[in-house]
Structure 1
Amino acid sequence: MKIIQLRCFVILCETLSFSQTGDILHLTQPAISHQIKKLESILKFQLFIRTNHRVELTAAGKHFYSDAKDFLSRLQVGITEASLINKGKLSVIKIGYEGHALEMNNLPVVMRMFSSMYPDTQVIVLRINHKERKNALLSGSCDIIMTVKDNIENTEGVIYKEIMNEGMMCLMHHDNVLASKSIIGFNDIRKEMIILLDPNNGPKEWLIVQQRLISMLPESQWLFSDSISSGEIFIKSGMGIAIIPVFCKPQGDDIVCLPFMMKESFSYGVAYLSKSANEKIQSLARLLQSELKMIDKS
């Protein structure tokens, strides 16, 4: 089995087009078809159903896709690490993160500070889905993850350092009639379009909060966002009011962020494995905790 065969397979899964896959990999359509047929021959099962008009994944192909993509991602990270070590770095530390504004604005600052303390160590960041981040830590794909406590609570061998424990907030466009208020209650939004994070992409605590919101706001309409970034686009387009944990707060002059009168809170912090907690990993975790905690208090 060759790497090019897996790359052809993964990209074809995502495009379902031999021509688009060929364009991405700079190969001809017959070359893509040849690589797929070779891979199917090696695996001894069919990956795609091909007709004159469409390409579809078989059940086996759908199952194999996630593992193949994960393998290629791990391979690329391994190549990156080896390249850095070849250039003189003695070690590499990998941070798994979500991608909300708190991380995007402050991880670069922390990484620069850490680099000045340990110039022989390179920190790299990997944007990883909430549900996959815990497994990335436990498998060693990441050395540190930024996460809610709910994601790793009661997991043996994991050390968790809390950065903040905050409640919920409402986000809205600055021209919304509610933007002049100092705090938002249930009555304020009972007939609004409410934007929520998709519970399938968030912590189980969020599912509980979501269910309570839906039950307490029977007159509201609901729009589910696959990410903070998508929710921000909805808000800026005037499609509704978002309710999110405080630590996910986006930044932007056209978005107003107001406290929401709800008791539930979320613990957000940094986690790493005790068995791999060398001096540098512990130092980076402390730096992340202290610097982001200062941002929270400011």
Structure 2
Amino acid sequence: MELRHLRYFVAVAERLSFTVAAADLGVAQPPLSQQIRDLEADIGTRLFERTTRRVSLTPAGEDFLIRAKAILHNVQDAAERAQAIGCGSVGVLNVGLTGSMLAGPLGRLIYNFQASFTGVDIQIHEMSPDKQIAALKSGQTDISFLRTPPQDPGLVSELAWKEGINVVLPRGHRIRTDSIGLSQLKDERFVFLRLRDSLFAKHILQCCVSSGFYPKISQQAVEAASLTSLVAAGFGVALIPEFVSNLAHAKVSYRRVISSTLSADVHALYHLRSGPIAHHFLAKMRSDAGDLVEQLRLG
């Protein structure tokens, strides 16, 4: 039994005429009649009652019609879903990130993408930068968003958006200007992102060294958002990505850091072999991220 047998059977059963069904199917009537006889022989029972005047369904034919139409409907659904998955309009996109990324444009970017691709389910995976790389390589995630991404020949790194650095100061700190140079912080105690698993933290450290001082680190944390709470508790000052400052805290203030080398630019990291959903998301990122960044800066 093949799908064409079911299609031929349904055509005859719905029209109760071999002549009309053959015309609608675009086939000659004798081959159509033979296909129905072959189907009945394969099943082992008659599906139609035939006379010189009329064609009708047997009880077995009536039941078979219901099930044949369901099978053909499921086959069509399966074909349409496979086509949708193949073109990237249906499926799942797994995104790796640190929670602080959502303080910037990424949250809105994900929302806008899902509004355009309603058949795609985006799963967010919060994890430290080192675990993001492992998840990406193992296929657990499709795209990761990182500051200071590693150089890896198996992965593609693309600038998602540019982001500056702010310093978090305790309320009442001696620095009052809206922006400061990095070297002005040389005498401060720092709270830092954890150096062992953050290339971004190492980037900040190296920029401090290039500015003429090695930061005195009192505490380290996994998330940039946690640094603000540590500053508020009196552990020192912190250097954080620009948009993390949107998570305001009553006991701290923020100042822009002026530096030619220090930045918190965000990169999208993905495989060259990434599927169509990932590439649709990347296209949305390229078209929307700049405007979303400007909206955040304008408040």
1:27-62 Cα offsets, whole Å, 9 max, x none, are xxxxxxxxxxxxxxxxxxxxxxxxxxxxxxxxxxxx
- The alignment status of 1:190 with 2:180, answered yes or no, reads no
Q: Structure 1 residues 172 and 290, CA, compared in 2 at 3 Å: closer, same or farther? A: farther
Helix, strand or coil at the partner of 1:155: coil
Q: What CA distance in whole angstroms lies between the structure 2 residues aligned with 1:212 and 1:106?
A: 25
**Bigger CA radius of gyration:** 2
Match of 2:131 in 1: 132
Unaligned runs of at least 5 residues, structure 1? 1-84
Q: What CA distance in whole angstroms lies between the structure 2 residues aligned with 1:118 and 1:212?
A: 41
Q: Structure 1 residues 275 and 174, CA, compared in 2 at 3 Å: closer, same or farther? A: same
Counting only pairs closer than 5 Å after superposition, residues 140-289 of structure 1 correspond to structure 2 as: 140-151=139-150, 153-156=151-154, 158-178=155-175, 180-186=176-182, 188-203=184-199, 206-207=201-202, 209-211=204-206, 213=208, 216-217=212-213, 221-226=216-221, 227-246=223-242, 248-252=244-248, 254=250, 255-266=252-263, 267-278=265-276, 280-289=277-286
Offset at residue 181 of structure 1 (A): 0.6
Q: Is the 8 A contact 2:157 2:268 kept in 1?
A: yes
1:79-138 Cα offsets, whole Å, 9 max, x none, are xxxxxx9xxx951111001111x4246444333322222222111100011011112112
Matching residue's letter, 1:92: V
TM-score of the aligned structures, taking structure 2 as reference length: 0.58
Matching residue's letter, 1:201: D
Matching residue's letter, 2:268: V
Q: Is the 8 A contact 1:98 1:127 kept in 2?
A: yes
Helix, strand or coil at the partner of 2:149: helix
TM-score of the aligned structures, taking structure 1 as reference length: 0.59
Aligned pairs, number: 204
Q: Is the 8 A contact 2:225 2:244 kept in 1?
A: no
Offset at residue 274 of structure 1 (A): 1.8
Q: Structure 1 residues 131 and 214, CA, compared in 2 at 3 Å: closer, same or farther? A: same
Q: What CA distance in whole angstroms lies between the structure 1 residues aligned with 2:244 and 2:124?
A: 18
Q: What CA distance in whole angstroms lies between the structure 2 residues aligned with 1:210 and 1:104?
A: 23
Helix, strand or coil at the partner of 2:141: coil
- The alignment status of 1:123 with 2:122, answered yes or no, reads yes
1:203-241 Cα offsets, whole Å, 9 max, x none, are 1x64254155368336x6422321213211112223321
Q: Structure 1 residues 190 and 108, CA, compared in 2 at 3 Å: closer, same or farther? A: closer
Q: Structure 1 residues 232 and 209, CA, compared in 2 at 3 Å: closer, same or farther? A: closer
Helix, strand or coil at the partner of 1:177: coil
Unaligned runs of at least 5 residues, structure 2? 1-84
Q: Is the 8 A contact 1:245 1:265 kept in 2?
A: no
Helix, strand or coil at the partner of 2:269: strand
- Between the aligned residues of both structures, percent identity stands at 15
After TM superposition, where is structure 1 displaced by more than 6 Å over at least 4 residues in a row?
Answer: none
- The alignment status of 1:96 with 2:92, answered yes or no, reads no
Q: Is the 8 A contact 1:90 1:120 kept in 2?
A: yes
Q: What CA distance in whole angstroms lies between the structure 2 residues aligned with 1:121 and 1:164?
A: 23
Offset at residue 252 of structure 1 (A): 0.6
Offset at residue 246 of structure 1 (A): 3.8
